[in-house]
Amino acid sequence: MVGCAGPLNQVSALGKRVIWEVSHMAESERSEKHEKARDSLPEGLRTVFDDLVADYKFHATKRHGAPYVSYIVLADMVRAGWRLGAEPLCEECGRGGPEEGH
């Protein structure tokens, strides 16, 4: 089966820019709240936090036009065990991953 070319699988130029900007964000470019939330995590979880922030900013920008983020809530989620554990589902067809023909 041919993979779906739904909107989730086609990252827009804006989405790519948001993901790139967050992943290359220097400490001086982070807000005080962002830095405080990030620093509340053990060193080994900070990259998980950075990935979650990038994904959240991308989807918030896509849905609302602006990336409104509660960094401390995202840090709490990482601390509680949040980890990316699955491939995202296609918004268009609701399927995802190679086992479903994507």
User: CB of 95 within 8 A of CB of 102?
Assistant: yes
pTM for the full predicted model: 0.65
pLDDT in tens, 2-49: 455 444 444 555 555 655 665 565 555 789 999 999 999 999 999 999
User: CB of 72 within 8 A of CB of 39?
Assistant: no
pLDDT in tens, 72-88: 999 999 999 999 887 77
Can you read off the two tokens belonging to residue 25?
């964000």
pLDDT in tens, 42-60: 999 999 999 999 889 888 8
User: CB of 90 within 8 A of CB of 5?
Assistant: no
Can you read off the two tokens belonging to residue 66?
């602006």
Side-chain-side CA neighbours of residue 102 (13 Å)? 17
Maximum CA extent, the chain: 48
